[in-house]
Structures are given as structure tokens and as C-alpha cells.
Amino acid sequence: MGSRGMARPPAAPGPRRYGVRVSWLTEPDEDWDERPAPAPNRLKVAVTVLAGWLAVSLIVLVGLLRFGARNTSDDHPGTPASTAASSTATGSSSTGSTATGSASAGTASSTPLGAVPAGWVLRAEDDQANCTAHSYGQVQVFFARTPCSSVHRSLLTTGQDGRSIVVATSTVTFASQNQATSYLRLVTSDGTGNVNDLLREGIRYPGSPSKLPATAFASRQDGTRVLVAEAGFVDGRSDYRDPVLQATARKAVDAG
């Protein structure tokens, strides 16, 4: 037979490659190696670090300037902070009493009471903001409806003809003059109560009575302030009608 019609045997398949991409950069049998990243530009790094340092330095400088300006304002004599500091330099406490049994006669006071009269001794004093908590009777009810701004209380002693006199004072300050007028009208009425004197709240000084004796009463209004004083003999009979005690109480409120 001739060769016509006979199928030609297929050529033997050559080797095949899978998963290998060939480029002009590599030979067919070469493995691909990643090239290392170029080293960072040192100049750019230096500039970045310097810029960050300058920014931090600027923030710190602005903070120091602001802090210094605030301190300067606080130390200025005309600022409220300076005024507040000078008002509390008398040794009074806003939460309690300060005993001053060793105070000398005639010692000046920067409290609302004013100057201590010559020959008198300031035994104790305090300042409170809550008049309701330091009063009794109808006066306490009044304060619950009409809060005071502050109350300054003091305990003083003086003498007359060899007899010791204890004087309790209170100076109540209100937000308005009308409120002060209403309070004065109430506190000067009989049996309406009062601000607690310091003896009533347990304050003592050497030779003090355990409570305020029968006293003479005096009061006056000064704008938004109402000053009240009570004076009584420490020993022996004490009477509110006693002219010596009446004069002593008036002298106490006049000192304000």
C-alpha cells in the first residue's frame, strides 16, 4: 500500500511552562527577585525632623507666654483676685469662728463691723454665707425665703465700773436695700428670733458665760447691710433696760 491516506503521527509535545511570566528583564528559567527599596533621602528626613521640632517649640513658647500673662494679671493690685486676697487676710474663716482672746484693746478690724472701739477686746469672729443655717425663729424663716449675701459675727468684751460686759454683733448683707429694710423691720420686732450669736454655737473665751445673758439691743441699717448688737453683763443682774448696756449696744453698731 502507498503512504497516501495514512495519518501522520503527531509531533512529540515539548516541555510546557506554567505560572512563569517572561519579560525582557528575565530569562525564561530565571526566578524573579524583588529589588530592595532605595534608601530614603537624608536631606528630606532632616528637614522633616527640624520642622517638627520648630512646631513643638512654638507651641511651648505660646503656652509659656500665656501662663506668664495670666500670672501678671493675678498679681496686679487692681484685679479681683488681689482684692479677694486682702479681704481674707484678717484671719476670719468662712466656715467657722476664729478665736482672738489675746487681741489687744482697740485692734483695728477690716471686717464689716468696722473698728473695734477703744478699750474693747475682740474675742472671736467669723463669716458665713448661709444665714438660714445660723439663725432661729421667724428670722430663720425669712432667710429661707430671702437668702442673705453674707453675715459677719463677732464676740467682744468691754467693762464698766468693774463689771465685764459681753457684746455679740452681727452684720447681715443683702443683695438689695429693700431686702435689708424688710429684715431690719423683722429683727427689731419682739420675739421674732435673730442670727445665732457665737456663744449660742459653742464658741468660748476665758471667763466667758455659757450663753448670752439678758441683753440690751441696738440695730441700724447701712444700705444693704443691717447691723445688730446685744450687750449684757457677764456676772450679776443683767437687764435690757440698763442704760449702760443700751449705750454699749449702740456703740457697737455705730462702730460699723
Residue 247 lies in a domain: yes
Distance of CA 26 to the CA centre of its chain: 80
Please count the helices (runs of H) and the strands (runs of E) in the chain.
5, 8
Give the contacts of 207 (CB within 8 A, at least 6 positions apart): 164, 234
177 and 74, same structural domain? no
129 and 206, same structural domain? yes
SS3 56: helix
Ranges of residues in the chain with a pLDDT under 70 are 1-42, 45, 60-114
Choose among 183, 188, 184: nearest CA to 143: 183
Residue 115 lies in a domain: yes
Residue 1 lies in a domain: no
Distance of CA 10 to the CA centre of its chain: 104
38-64 pLDDT per residue, tens: 555 667 767 777 777 777 777 766 565
Question: In the prediction, which pLDDT does 49 show?
Answer: 72
Instruction: Give the pTM.
Output: 0.58
155 and 53, same structural domain? no
For residue 82, the enclosing domain spans: 38-87
**What is the number of domains present in the chain?**
2
Tell me the residue length of the chain. 256
Question: In the prediction, which pLDDT does 108 show?
Answer: 32
Question: In the prediction, which pLDDT does 53 show?
Answer: 74
